[in-house]
Amino acid sequence: MNPAARAWFSARTWQEPQWTVSDLCAVKGGRTVSVVLPALNEEATVGEVVGSVRPLLGSLVDEIVVMDSGSTDRTSSVALAAGARVVRREDVLPSYSPLPGKGEVLWRSLAATTGDLVVFLDADLVDPDSAFVPALLGPLLTEDVHLVKGFYRRPLRLETEDYGTGGGRVTELLARPLLNALRPELSGLVQPLGGEYAGSREFLESVSFAAGYAVEIGLLLDAHSTYGLDAIAQVNLGVRKHRNRNLLQLGVMASQILGAMLRRCDIAGSTELTQFVQVAGEWLPDTTPIDVADRPPMRSVNLS
C-alpha cells in the first residue's frame, strides 16, 4: 500500500465504531442531518430501510427523504407508510430535464433537503442495520472530515454466508486497480464504490455529480482533490446485502465509473461500450452509449 494510504488507513479507519446515539446527539450541537434514500422500484426493501432509520428521527436525524427516480411500483407508498418524506425526481429543479441514473437523484436531493450533514443509503438493502447511520455520522460529528465511506462484507448471493468474496466485483476488477495506479493515496479505501456514505453539505454542494453509477467514485476523487486525504474517513458497517447485477449490467456500470475516473484524472475516455450477445447462435455486437455527463455543483445552480 502507498505509504500515505497506509498512514491514512491507520488514522481514519474505524473497524469497530463505538459511538452511541446519545454520544453523537451530545456533540451534534446545532447541526442538522438529512438521510437520503435514492429509489427506483424498490417496494420490497425500501420500507425496511426507512424503518431502520425512523427511530433516530427527531434526535440524531432531522429528516428522512426517499428520492423516487421514476418508480412504477409501490415504492412511494411503502416509503410514506414507513415514515419517510417522498420526493419525486421531476419535482426538484424542474428546469433541468431528468437524466437517468443514481447520481442524478442524489444531486437533486441536495435541493430537496436542508441538513448540514447528508447520509446516503441505498434503498435495496436487505436486513439493514440501524447502526449504519450513527456509524457514518461518527467521524463527521467528532472529527474534521467531509466524507465518510462505509465498508462491509458483501455476499454475492443473498442466501449465502460466504462473505469473504463475491460481491463488489466492479470494485475488485476495476476501481481498486485504477485507484492504485492513478490515485495511490486512495488505495486504503475498502469500498470506494459503496452506496452507504455521508458528507458535509459544504463539500457536497461544492462539487459536480456524475449522473449515473459513477457518482460515488466521482465524489471520492473530488473530496480528495478539494480537501485532501485527511478529510476522508471510513467506518466498518459489518455486512451489506443487496440485489446483485449480471455481467452485462456490470459492464455498463464499470464503463461509467471508468469514464468518471479518467475525467477527474484529465484523461480522455470513450463514450460508448460494445458488448456481444448471442442471437440465434450468432455473436452480435450490442453497443451502449455511456453517459459521461456531470451535473454542476449545486452551489452554482439557481434554485428559484
CATH number where 79 lies: 3.90.550.10
Position 147 in a domain: yes
Q: Which long-range contacts (CB under 8 A, 24 or more apart) does 188-191 make?
A: 188/1, 188/2, 188/5, 188/6, 188/8, 188/9, 188/13, 188/234, 189/149, 189/151, 189/220, 189/232, 189/234, 190/13, 190/149, 190/151, 190/234, 191/149, 191/150, 191/151, 191/152, 191/154, 191/234
Count Cα neighbours of 294 within 13 Å in the Cβ-side half-sphere: 20
In a domain, 195, yes or no: yes
pLDDT for 163: 43
Burial class (CB in 10 A: 0-12, 13-18, 19+), 151: buried
Report how far residue 224's alpha carbon sits from residue 294's, in angstroms, rounded to the nearest whole number: 18
Extended beta strands in the chain, E state: 13-14, 33-39, 63-68, 85-88, 117-120, 147-153, 197-200, 209-210, 232-239, 272-279, 282-289, 294-295
Look at residues 13, 11, 10, 16 and name the one whose alpha carbon lies nearest to residue 238: 16
User: Mean pLDDT of residues grouped by 10 in the chain (304 residues)?
Assistant: 92 95 97 97 97 98 97 97 97 92 95 98 93 98 97 62 56 90 94 95 97 92 97 93 67 84 82 82 84 88 81
Whole-angstrom distance between the N-terminal and C-terminal Cα of the chain? 47
Query: How many Å separate Cα 145 from the centre of its chain?
Result: 17
Residue 300 forms part of a structural domain: no
pLDDT for res 155: 64
Angle (CA) 51 53 55, round 5°: 85
pLDDT score, position 230: 96
pLDDT the model gives residue 171: 87
Task: With respect to residue 302, please indicate whether it lies within any of the assigned structural domains.
Answer: no
Question: And the C-alpha cell for 290?
Answer: 455511456
- Whole-model pTM: value is 0.90
Q: Is residue 303 part of a domain?
A: no
301 occurs within a structural domain:
no
E strand or H helix at 82: helix 75-82
pLDDT value of residue 148: 98
Per the structure, the count of domains in the chain is 1
pLDDT of residue 141: 98
- Asked if residue 237 is part of any domain, the answer here is yes
- Name the residue range of residue 99's domain: 3-295
